[in-house]
């Protein structure tokens, strides 16, 4: 059935789901690290930062849970292959089809940064206590 090296690649929707899951997972790690840094750090007032990061973490975890379920239903997986100073490569799998992708590490960083920006906006929208308290 699988003819030689003629790989059948994943379609756009499958790749989008898997790469969103991948970069969202990375963003969650960054948020967790930042939370630790603030908790252990020398911040004058930690609470607002901690609250914001915790809301961002909750938003991200909810989205990742949904993505994981959708990927399970569609039998999509993503696996880290290898990483060096410049590039990271991942294998995307779906129902016997596979695609290897190499990402330039600064491009990964940019993708994670964009997700973190999104999460900041979502966290602020979902949060009544960011409204001006002194009005």
- The token pair at 87 is 């590039």
Q: Is 114 part of a structural domain of the chain?
A: yes
- The token pair at 71 is 């990927």
Residue 65 is part of which domain span?
A: 12-125
Q: Is 22 part of a structural domain of the chain?
A: yes
Q: Is 131 part of a structural domain of the chain?
A: no
Asked if residues 46 and 39 have their Cβ atoms less than 8 Å apart, the reply is yes
Give me the number of domains the chain comprises: 1
Q: What DSSP letter does each residue of 119-131 carry, written as one string?
A: HHHHHHHT-GGGS
**Length, in residues, of the chain:** 135
What confidence tens digit (pLDDT) does each residue in 36-79 have?
999 999 989 999 999 999 999 999 999 999 999 999 999 999 99
Residue owning tokens 């849970």 = 65
Q: Is 133 part of a structural domain of the chain?
A: no
Residue owning tokens 């940019």 = 110
Question: In the prediction, which pLDDT does 126 show?
Answer: 77
Q: Is 132 part of a structural domain of the chain?
A: no
Q: How far apart are CA 66 and CA 25, in angstroms?
A: 13
Q: Is 1 part of a structural domain of the chain?
A: no
Q: With bands split at pLDDT 50, 70 and 90, how would you rate the model's confidence at 7?
A: low
């Amino acid at each position: 059935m699988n003819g030689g090296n003629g790989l059948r690649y994943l379609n756009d929707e499958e790749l989008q789901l898997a790469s969103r899951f991948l970069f969202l997972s990375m963003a969650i790690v960054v948020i967790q690290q930042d939370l630790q840094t603030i908790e252990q750090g020398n911040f004058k007032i930690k609470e607002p930062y901690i609250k914001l990061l915790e809301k961002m973490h909750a938003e991200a975890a909810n989205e990742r849970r949904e993505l994981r379920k959708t990927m399970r239903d569609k039998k999509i997986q993503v696996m880290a292959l290898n990483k060096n100073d410049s590039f990271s490569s991942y294998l995307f799998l779906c129902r016997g089809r596979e695609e290897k992708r190499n990402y330039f590490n600064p491009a990964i960083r940019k993708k994670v940064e964009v997700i973190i920006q999104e999460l900041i906006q979502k966290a602020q929208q979902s949060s009544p206590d960011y409204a001006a308290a002194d009005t």
